[in-house]
């Protein structure tokens, strides 16, 4: 492993030897999917710093070309390994970030990152463009599935955990890869949830709401970050020196590589009209603090011309190149240009075990009138468009969707859909399983509906699997109407009319508007995009092999017009509700039931030690895991502050009948706010500490205290 002082010295020596064209080339990240092989090799021989979306022998050919240059600076290869190394069909496909966040399990999310890193490194690659630390506060946004949900504290905890997994103990290890905190910053807060639009926020709000996850990423040692599309107060993030160089690099001390998102520099000219030409855009991006330029290949010649004409200080280029070289040296790429990983680790037993465990913890039970678990029945009907659709279960960023959608691509085993999971467990007990598609996500027919009703009529209970599909989410697929599409609601009504026990499962990329379903179903499970074993985990929950422990990292709206509906809103709304809707979301952040029952009591908080503690009892008849959540409210403050804000959580396993005292070591800064002049302070006054099972008032004990 190269020592820090040695890294600095070697990086400085290299920069001093490089020509201006070599330095400009080092700032380029070339997309292998949009250039020819000959063009890619030409870029490697120019000294390009990085390529993305190139695998196997193609990557080795490019690396050989790079190492044959005058200074033999190795290439960095990046890939979108978003929930596993999913663009490789042989890899372990984990639950999506949103599904994983339902676990509230730091250790398991870190293990997911570690397994992903091993598989990416075994492919010879160095870098994943993950985690997404944007907040999913308006669920119409197409990329909600890539987030850890709506809350900054949870997103920061999950993000830091997966970063530690990706990067391991040393970037130089054969099975460690670079993490990338993205999209810096506020990308998910775009107006109307319209991807890449202007972001309506102040710098104060940026610091209070959206910066904390990135602060945790920097503290976790995240080696790279990616700039966001969009803008703040109409200044494109790509060109915002205060956000990039000022806050991230200087204030937070981020010393890694800051890479632009796809074609962001060129977009200053062609989409945002903030620059007249690529030269002006390149100067703006470089001076703002971008170190590596993804896809905008015109930057190379523009940067050289700018320096030669005296329009850009070469020291700006030097700083960027120095950062890139430092990371390459810390990774040991000059000695070992290709990551070796762990041969044989793709979808190995250990990785599949982690995947299965995370799928189990990502299942959220939202309603149950006693219909679940299914017991003492002889037959069950599994019905619905997502009951046997592995593409819907996987969601975005797998070999089905990238680099280009391929509907005809055959899925690679192992995996288990909900139908397959139910059949497997039912076979063990001799239970009969009937199946009907019912309708499509985007289309439906009367014949399909009738087939589903007939299948259900001949069974003792029904498991109905609804949701969305790849055509309805992802980058550039923002959605105005989150109601269940096609004939899904009609299908539900037909099955409900049979008056048989009806459990509904939502396999979806995001919270959908399903108020009628939630009200009419006997039980409701949320599984989001559960990865390889999401279907098996649902089946285990249905039959009681699994006691659900997941909690929602995001709120469910009752109607698209209720959005945004995140729990930590600011007070002051006249009436506090729409005149035609209840004031609450359909399901709130932190919500999630169990087959057992937990009781909270004896909440205490010591203002001298900042130690909070509460007794949690498993008062039911089944062992289970409860996620204890801690919130606070500043009762009177100099600015508007949220009605409640998550500041801690802990998963606690309790055997039936057991009680544990759960303690939280807090600090004064946990009760802070950001002032209009962008200072974080804890103001004196009265506060309420709330501890319980979810963000809902009725689920929380509270104690008032004074600081």
Count the Cβ atoms, other than its own, within 10 Å of residue 414.
Answer: 13
Dmax over Cα atoms in the chain, in whole Å?
81
Per-residue pLDDT band for 405 (boundaries 50, 70, 90) equals confident
Each residue's pLDDT tens digit, 487-526 = 999 999 999 999 999 999 999 999 999 999 999 999 999 9
Q: How far apart are CA 455 and CA 463, in angstroms?
A: 11
Each residue's pLDDT tens digit, 457-491 = 999 999 999 999 999 999 999 999 999 999 999 99
Q: Indicate if the alpha-carbon torsion angle 99, 105, 106, 107 is positive or negative.
A: negative
Q: Is the pLDDT of residue 360 over 60?
A: yes
Per-residue pLDDT band for 2 (boundaries 50, 70, 90) equals low
The reported pLDDT for the residue numbered 55 is 86
Residue 394, C-beta contacts closer than 8 angstroms, at least 6 positions apart: 86, 93, 400, 529, 531, 532
Q: Is the pLDDT of residue 291 over 80?
A: yes
Q: How far apart are CA 612 and CA 6, in angstroms?
A: 45
Beta-sheet pairing, 432-436 with 624-634: unpaired
Residue (of 141, 198, 99) closest to 560 by Cα position: 141
Q: Is the pLDDT of residue 555 over 90?
A: yes
Q: How far apart are CA 459 and CA 462, in angstroms?
A: 7
Delineate the domains of the chain, giving CATH numbers in brackets. 4-330 (3.20.20.300), 362-562 (3.40.50.1700), 598-706 (2.60.40.10)
The reported pLDDT for the residue numbered 181 is 98
The reported pLDDT for the residue numbered 56 is 86
Q: Is the pLDDT of residue 453 over 90?
A: yes
Each residue's pLDDT tens digit, 198-251 = 888 899 999 999 999 999 999 999 999 999 999 999 999 999 999 999 999 999
Q: Is the pLDDT of residue 197 over 90?
A: no
Count the Cβ atoms, other than its own, within 10 Å of residue 624.
Answer: 19
DSSP code string of 541-591:
HHTTSS------SSPBPSSGGG----SSPPS--SSSS-TTS-SS-SB-TT-
Q: Is the pLDDT of residue 17 over 90?
A: yes
Q: How far apart are CA 618 and CA 541, in angstroms?
A: 19
Mean pLDDT of 170-177: 97
For the packed helices 314-330 and 4-17, what is the interaxial angle rounded to 10 degrees? 140
Please state the three-class secondary structure of 467-527 as a single string: ECCHHHCCCCCCCCCCECCCCHHHHHHHHHCCCCCEEEEEECCCCCECHHHHHHCCEEEEC
Each residue's pLDDT tens digit, 294-328 = 999 999 999 999 999 999 999 999 999 999 999 99
The answer to whether the predicted template modeling score (pTM) of the entire model surpasses 0.85 is yes
Q: Are 473 and 510 in contact (CB under 8 A)?
A: yes
pLDDT averaged over the chain?
97
Q: How far apart are CA 35 and CA 37, in angstroms?
A: 7
Mean pLDDT of 281-295: 98
Each residue's pLDDT tens digit, 87-130 = 999 999 999 999 999 999 999 999 999 999 999 999 999 999 99
Mean pLDDT of 326-347: 96
Mean pLDDT of 684-704: 98
The reported pLDDT for the residue numbered 649 is 98
691, 695, 696, 699: CA torsion to nearest 10: -30
The reported pLDDT for the residue numbered 403 is 82
DSSP code of 149? -
pLDDT over 70, % of the chain:
100
Q: Are 616 and 628 in contact (CB under 8 A)?
A: yes
Q: How far apart are CA 126 and CA 333, in angstroms?
A: 9
């Amino acid at each position: 492993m190269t020592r820090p002082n040695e890294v600095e010295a070697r990086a400085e020596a290299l920069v001093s030897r490089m020509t201006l064209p070599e330095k400009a080339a080092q700032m380029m990240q070339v997309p292998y999917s949009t250039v020819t092989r000959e063009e890619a090799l030409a870029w490697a021989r120019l000294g390009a710093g990085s390529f993305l979306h190139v695998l196997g022998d193609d990557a080795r050919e490019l690396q050989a070309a790079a190492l044959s240059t005058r200074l033999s600076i190795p290439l960095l290869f990046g890939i979108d390994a978003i929930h596993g190394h999913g663009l490789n069909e042989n890899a372990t496909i984990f639950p999506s970030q949103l599904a994983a966040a339902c676990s509230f399990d730091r250790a398991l999310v870190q293990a997911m990152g570690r397994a992903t890193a091993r598989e990416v490194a075994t492919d010879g690659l160095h870098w994943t463009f993950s985690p997404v630390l944007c907040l999913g506060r308006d669920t119409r946004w197409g990329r909600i599935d890539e987030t850890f949900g709506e809350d900054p504290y949870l997103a920061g905890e999950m993000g830091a955990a997966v970063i530690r997994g990706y990067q391991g103990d040393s970037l130089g290890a054969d099975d460690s890869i670079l993490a990338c905190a993205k999209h810096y910053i506020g990308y998910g807060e775009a107006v109307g949830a319209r991807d890449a639009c202007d972001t309506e926020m102040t710098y104060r709000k940026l610091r209070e709401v959206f910066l904390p996850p990135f602060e945790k990423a920097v503290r976790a040692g995240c080696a790279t970050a990616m700039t966001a599309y969009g803008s703040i107060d109409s200044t494109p993030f790509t060109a915002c020196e205060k956000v990039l160089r000022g806050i991230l690099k200087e204030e937070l001390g981020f010393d890694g590589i800051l890479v632009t998102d796809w074609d962001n520099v060129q977009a200053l000219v062609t989409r945002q009209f903030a620059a007249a030409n690529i030269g002006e855009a390149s100067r703006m991006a470089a001076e703002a603090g971008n170190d590596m330029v993804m896809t905008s290949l015109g930057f190379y010649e523009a940067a050289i011309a700018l320096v030669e004409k005296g329009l850009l200080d070469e020291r700006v280029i030097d700083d960027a190149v120095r950062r890139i070289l430092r990371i390459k040296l810390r990774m040991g790429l000059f000695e070992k240009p290709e990551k070796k990983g762990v041969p044989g680790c793709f979808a190995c037993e250990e990785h599949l075990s982690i995947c299965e465990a995370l799928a189990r913890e990502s299942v959220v039970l939202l309603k149950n009138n006693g219909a679940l678990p299914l017991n003492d029945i002889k037959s069950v009907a599994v019905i619905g468009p997502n009951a046997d659709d592995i593409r819907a279960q996987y969601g975005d960023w797998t070999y089905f969707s990238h680099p280009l959608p391929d509907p005809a691509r055959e899925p690679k085993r192992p995996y288990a859909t909900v139908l397959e999971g139910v059949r497997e467990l039912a076979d063990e007990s001799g239970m009969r399983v009937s199946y009907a598609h019912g309708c499509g996500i985007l289309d439906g027919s009367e014949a399909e509906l009738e087939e589903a009703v007939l299948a259900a009529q001949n069974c003792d209970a029904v498991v109905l699997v609804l949701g969305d599909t790849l055509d309805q989410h992802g980058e550039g697929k923002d959605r105005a109407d989150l109601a269940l599409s096609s004939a899904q609601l009609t299908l539900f009504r037909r099955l409900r009319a049979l008056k048989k026990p009806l459990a509904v499962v939502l396999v979806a990329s995001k919270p959908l508007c399903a108020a009628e379903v939630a009200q009419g179903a006997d039980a409701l499970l949320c599984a989001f995009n559960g990865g390889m074993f999401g279907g098996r985990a649902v089946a285990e929950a249905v039959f009681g092999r699994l006691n659900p422990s997941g909690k929602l990292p995001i709120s469910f709206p009752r109607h698209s017009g209720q959005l945004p509906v995140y729990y930590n809103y600011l007070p002051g709304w006249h009436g506090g509700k729409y005149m035609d809707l209840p004031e609450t979301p359909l399901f709130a952040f932190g919500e999630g039931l169990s087959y057992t029952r937990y009781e909270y009591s004896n909440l205490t908080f010591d203002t001298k030690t900042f130690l909070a503690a509460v007794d949690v009892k498993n008062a039911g008849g089944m062992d289970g895991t409860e996620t204890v959540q801690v919130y606070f409210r500043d009762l009177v403050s100099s600015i508007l502050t949220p009605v409640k804000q998550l500041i801690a959580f802990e998963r606690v396993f309790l055997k039936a009948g057991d009680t544990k005292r759960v303690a939280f070591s807090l600090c004064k800064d946990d009760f802070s706010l950001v002032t209009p002049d962008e200072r974080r302070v804890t103001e004196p006054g009265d506060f309420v500490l709330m501890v319980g099972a979810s963000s809902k008032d009725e689920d929380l004990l509270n104690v008032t205290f004074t600081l």
